[in-house]
Chains A and B, each alone.
Chain A
Amino acid sequence: MITTSNLHKHFGRIHAVRGVSFSVQKGEVLGFLGPNGAGKTTTMRMITGFLPPSSGTATVCGHDVSDAPVEAKRVIGYLPENAPLYGSMTVRDLLTFAAEIRGFRGKARAARVDAAIEKCRLGSVRNQSVATLSKGYRQRTCFAQAVLHDPPVLIMDEPTDGLDPNQKHVVRLMIREMAAEKAIIVSTHILEEVDAVCTRAIIISNGTVVANGTPDELRARSGSGRLDDVFRKLTLGEEDVTNG
């Protein structure tokens, strides 16, 4: 349901993404791994239509993101990095705004908002303004905004960043529950998360895909059978590995 082919992105002289191609089917949760600055966020921004690719294409549910951006955006739920939200709005108003833009009216809109508040356990802060929320609650509000319309494609940039261990667990459970009928991409720096939620993982380094496979396949690529070691081996230069 998500296909990218040969995506490139230049920021002036920086070549941030260099020919990323992969696809994600319904029922898959793709883990997106890579060191800081590898190009994970940039790739996600191109798939969600925020940034135009310098070259290459991204297709979501058959809609080319560059040619049919609105159709593509309709079927995507997106949780951007750092959960940007309008600070002056209350949680409820913010979700109502998202529901309205997604085309829900009247009773259906209220039902969607209530369901999202329920699902993400935001009941206690529903009338609090976003600017005064703790980081974890902001993250959950942004998560609620992403799943509110029950999209077939879900793209999340570090969804468990800033959550306490209980909330991390809840979010992973929610991702697993939704996995069956969606295509999901999750970026993360937490390697246990890959085992916990992902059916497949991609490691991206310096803007290129250096590994693509199930967690077990990736593990088999290192002698020790640990994901950390695979990650280090693939994303550090030879010298760095020997120097620790």
Chain B
Amino acid sequence: MDSLRVSMAVFKRELRSYFESPVAYVFIVAFLLLTGFLTFSVTQFYERGVADLQPFFFWHPWVYLLLIPAATMGLWAEERRSGTIELLLTMPVTMTQAIMGKFLAAWLFITLAIALTLPVVFTTGYLGDPDLGVAFSGYLGSALLAGACVAIGMLASSTTRSQVIAFVVSLIVCLVLLLAGWPPVTGFFVRWAPTWLVDAIAAFSLMPHFESMQRGVVDLADIGYYVSVIVFMLFATHLVINNRKSA
């Protein structure tokens, strides 16, 4: 109970820090404009004549690819740069509480931005008769995918005191994991890596799990996949910070 409260204190501070600076507003506006533009102009949502959400969810991974590294790059890098990591970690906080608090704050922040796209669902509801179950599973998949990207971004942020490096590293890792199952990428590995490794890399891809949820298939295996990616990244963050606190 007490341990939860400590996590909550870290969580609240982190979430507030998004809104105390212009970051949150710039981020949310960019998120909505980008999703809107890609969905309505690039995919020509209206012209398709089919009222479903596929073209909307299709773009989520690519919007996350750009924006989530920006939202997470400061999580630890800024603590390192400004030295507040020393303040935080000499308070009676365990590493797990600090990591969980920060992760949940960043994740909730992204989820908030996602929730602001709900009018898109109402638009399709107005135009036709979309399957609300599919909409729900699409949003669930999208939020889980975002959680995995946030966890990756946090790990990248924990390794450095430079937000630029954190941004670039998490963008590249997210890109690789999004594209991992895609033939041109597997093709690059096939040339020199053993088959089992290629298969393993493809199995790690963030994409297929989201694609099946976009179609309305909620499989526990997909949820389990995202949860394990998140847990793995948080665990790795723990190790990184424990090993290089003051560097």
Contact = CB atoms under 8 A, between A and B. Distances in A.
A binds B: yes
Interface of A: 45, 48-51, 69-71, 73-74, 76, 78, 80, 82, 84-89, 93, 97-98, 100-103, 105, 129, 142, 145
Contact of B90 (A76, A82, A93, A103): A76
Does more than half of chain B's interface fall in helix, strand or loop, or is it mixed? helix
Contacts of B94: 69-70
B90 A50 contact: yes
B13 A102 contact: no
Contacts of A78: 87, 90
Nearest to A87: B82
Contacts of B85: 84
Interface stretch (B1-9, B198-206, B226-234): B1-9
Nearest to A79: B87
Given A45-B246, A50-B245, A100-B9, A73 B92 contact: yes
B13 A84 contact: no
Contacts, number: 74
B41 interface: no
A129 B21 CA distance: 11
16 contacts: A45-B246, A50-B90, A50-B245, A51-B245, A73-B93, A74-B92, A80-B86, A80-B90, A84-B84, A85-B87, A88-B17, A97-B9, A100-B5, A103-B2, A103-B92, A129-B20
Contacts of A101: 6, 9-10, 91-93
Interface residues of B, number: 25
A78 B89 CA distance: 11
A103 B83 contact: no
A102 B246 CA distance: 23
B91 A98 contact: yes
Contacts of A82: 83
Interface in B5-36: 5-6, 9-10, 12-13, 16-17, 20-21
Nearest to A82: B83
B78 to A, nearest CB: 9
A25 to B, nearest CB: 22
A73 B10 CA distance: 16
B91 A85 contact: no
B203 to A, nearest CB: 37
A83 to B, nearest CB: 9
A204 to B, nearest CB: 19
Contact of A80 (B16, B17, B87, B93): B87
Q: Which of A78, A97, A101 has the most chain B CB within a 10 Å cutoff?
A: A101
Nearest to B82: A84
Given A101-B6, A101-B93, A86 B84 contact: yes
**What are the 5 A-B residue pairs with the smallest beta carbon separation, nearest first?**
A84-B83, A100-B9, A73-B92, A74-B92, A48-B90
A70 B6 CA distance: 12
A97 B13 contact: yes
Given A50-B245, A100-B9, A103-B5, A85 B93 contact: no
Given A50-B90, A101-B91, 15 more contacts: A49-B89, A49-B90, A70-B93, A78-B90, A80-B90, A84-B82, A84-B85, A86-B82, A88-B21, A97-B12, A98-B91, A101-B10, A102-B92, A103-B2, A105-B5
A89 B17 contact: yes
A88 B20 contact: yes
Given A50-B245, A73-B92, A101-B6, A85 B86 contact: no
A89 B87 contact: no
Q: Which of B9, B10, B245 has the most chain A CB within a 10 Å cutoff?
A: B9
A86 B90 contact: no
A49 B6 CA distance: 18
B84 to A, nearest CB: 5
B226 to A, nearest CB: 30
Q: Which of B16, B17, B83, B92 has the most chain A CB within a 10 Å cutoff?
A: B92
Interface string B236-247: 000000000110
Contacts of A89: 13, 16-17, 20
A51 B20 contact: no
Q: Which of B12, B21, B86 has the most chain A CB within a 10 Å cutoff?
A: B86
Interface in B87-131: 87, 89-94
